[in-house]
Amino acid sequence: MTPKDPGPVYCLNPGCGNPIGRSAGSGRPRNYCSDACGRAYRRAREKSPTPDTLAHDAFAAQVADDLARVVAHMLQLTRDRQPLSALTLLRLVEGDLEDLKAALIQQARDQRQKNADIAQCLGLPSEQITRKLSADAVRRRIESRPLRTRTRVRLPRQAASPPTLAPRTVSAARIPGHRRTPDGAADVTPSRARDPARHRAGPAAVLTRALAHLQHVSGKTRRELADDTGVSASYVSRVLSGERCPSWKVARLFTLACEGDPAEVRPLWEAARAHLPVQRQSLPAALRGLHLAAARPPADELGEHTRLTAHAITGMFHGTAVPSWEDVEELAHALDAEAQPLRPLWNAACAAVAAPLSSAGGPVTEVIG
């Protein structure tokens, strides 16, 4: 049996990214490659919002908006005397409340608020904030939201946000010509990618498909891959059959042995392991990873299954602009993969777009569908 390998851990300073050597002792694990690097990052964070801070703000606004919509729909169901439908939504509300609590706690910590003050607002002992709602626990809660199975309820679409929420300035960096329309008519082209009855592959299955495709195009035998990765041939067989999820060390060596790009496989591995990403990843790389797992179908073929143009799909793979979440979701579905694991990367891409305007004193913008 191959020994467990957690893979490399990288410095949390976005401008650094150096690997961190973590010992197997019982001490607190290091988050930065050096004390000086950690101090520099904290000083920069205090002076201006970091991409992480902007992503946390966008996440909190998104959860609050989702919660407001669900509660408004529950109110209507209650008035219409539909208790079973309202109870179904109650599960979603309870999860959203916990996510919103985590998001607000993270916002408060981004603003350098003390744990004692946060605990006082929640009516909890300060020790509980430190122990059960630590920074790591809150971060895991935020990152796990897209990976959790949520109650699938079709809520009525709203033209605007609920009146209790302040309107947000929208300035989307859209890919030109992103939607196909017949003879310039309205966007009514049906999308087979959005068929609700169509089964989507989960993160683990997507990773398995990607590794299997790499092995197929490389022409290498499982024995050769075992020699390249330093594991047994039977272990390679279990990985390619989906029985085992390899460590990142093995997955990376496997990808390199097949002449693949580890940057495309890393987001798939993170989603399969339900891990908090330990290094900066991009949305285009994750989309290329899904493309790899689907055996890289041509863009025009994908366009036939969606309302996206081939030009828009190619642009999403290369990151020429930040697409709307609706377009990301549609492309993921066309590649037979779940879209929600991409949500944190999309939030980070939106935050990166908003960062220059925010630091210059302009309105914070977000890319929306």
Q: Is the pLDDT of residue 7 over 80?
A: no
Does 350 fall in a domain? yes
Summarize pLDDT for 137-188 with one digit per residue, the tens: 777 777 777 655 444 445 554 444 443 333 333 333 444 445 554 444 434 4
> What is the chain's mean pLDDT, rounded?
75
Token pair recorded at residue 271: 């989603």
**Of 110, 141, 167, which residue constitutes the final position of a domain?**
167
Comparing 25-29, 77-81, 215-219, the range with the smallest average pLDDT is 25-29
Statement to judge: residues 220 and 287 lie in one domain:
yes
**Of 139, 167, 195, which residue constitutes the final position of a domain?**
167
Q: Which residue has the higher pLDDT, 23 or 342?
A: 342
Statement to judge: residues 246 and 348 lie in one domain:
yes
Per-position DSSP letters for 172-226, written without gaps between them: --PPTT-B--GGG--S----GGG-TTS--B-HHHHHHHHHHHHHHHHT--HHHHH
- Which contiguous run of DSSP H or E holds residue 19? strand 19-20
**At 261, which CATH number?**
1.10.260.40
Statement to judge: residues 236 and 260 lie in one domain:
yes
Does 235 fall in a domain? yes
Statement to judge: residues 147 and 219 lie in one domain:
no
The pLDDT of 97-106, averaged and rounded, is 87
CA distance 205 to 257: 21
Q: Is the pLDDT of residue 128 over 50?
A: yes
Burial annotation 245-279 (CB, 10 A radius, 16+ → b, else e): bbbbbbbbbbbebbebeebbbbbbbbbbbebeebb
Range of the domain at 10: 1-20+30-47
The pLDDT-based confidence of 126 (bands split at 50, 70, 90) is confident
Summarize pLDDT for 256-314 with one digit per residue, the tens: 999 999 999 998 988 888 765 545 568 899 999 999 999 999 998 888 888 888 888 99
Which residues, at least 6 apart from 122, have a Cβ–Cβ distance to it below 8 Å? 101, 129
Q: Is the pLDDT of residue 329 over 60?
A: yes
Q: Is the pLDDT of residue 8 over 70?
A: no
Does 176 fall in a domain? no
CA distance 225 to 223: 5
pTM here is: 0.50
Q: Which residue has the higher pLDDT, 74 or 132?
A: 74
Statement to judge: residues 301 and 206 lie in one domain:
yes
Statement to judge: residues 204 and 324 lie in one domain:
yes
Comparing 44-48, 125-129, 171-175, the range with the smallest average pLDDT is 171-175
DSSP assignment letter at 163: T
pLDDT for position 149: 45
Statement to judge: residues 130 and 13 lie in one domain:
no
CA distance 227 to 64: 51
CA distance 302 to 300: 5
At 215, the amino acid letter reads: Q
The pLDDT of 3-17, averaged and rounded, is 62
Does 187 fall in a domain? yes
pLDDT for position 25: 56
pLDDT for position 321: 78
pLDDT for position 86: 87
Statement to judge: residues 90 and 156 lie in one domain:
yes
Statement to judge: residues 275 and 247 lie in one domain:
yes
CA 96, 98, 102, 107 dihedral sign is: positive
The pLDDT-based confidence of 215 (bands split at 50, 70, 90) is very high
Summarize pLDDT for 342-360 with one digit per residue, the tens: 888 888 888 776 654 444 4
**Of 167, 202, 236, which residue constitutes the final position of a domain?**
167
Nearest residue to 322 (alpha-carbon basis) of 279, 351, 356: 351
The pLDDT of 318-325, averaged and rounded, is 85
Q: Is the pLDDT of residue 225 over 60?
A: yes
Q: Which residue has the tokens 């996440």?
A: 59
Instruction: Report percent pLDDT > 70 for the chain.
Output: 69
Does 173 fall in a domain? no
Comparing 83-92, 119-128, 142-151, the range with the smallest average pLDDT is 142-151
pLDDT for position 213: 92
Q: By the 8 A CB rule, do 293 and 210 touch?
A: yes
- Which contiguous run of DSSP H or E holds residue 44? helix 35-47
Does 288 fall in a domain? yes
pLDDT for position 223: 92
Query: Backbone phi, then psi, for 292, in 5-degree steps?
Result: -60, -45
Statement to judge: residues 70 and 123 lie in one domain:
yes
Other CB atoms within a 10 A radius of the CB of residue 45 amount to 16
Does 175 fall in a domain? no
Q: By the 8 A CB rule, do 257 and 229 touch?
A: yes
Q: Which residue has the higher pLDDT, 63 or 52?
A: 63
Does 281 fall in a domain? yes
Q: Which residue has the higher pLDDT, 197 or 364?
A: 197
Q: Which residue has the higher pLDDT, 50 or 357?
A: 50
Statement to judge: residues 317 and 230 lie in one domain:
yes
pLDDT for position 24: 56
pLDDT for position 361: 46
pLDDT for position 189: 46
Statement to judge: residues 2 and 95 lie in one domain:
no
Nearest residue to 317 (alpha-carbon basis) of 346, 348, 345, 288: 288
How many domains does the structure of the chain reveal?
3
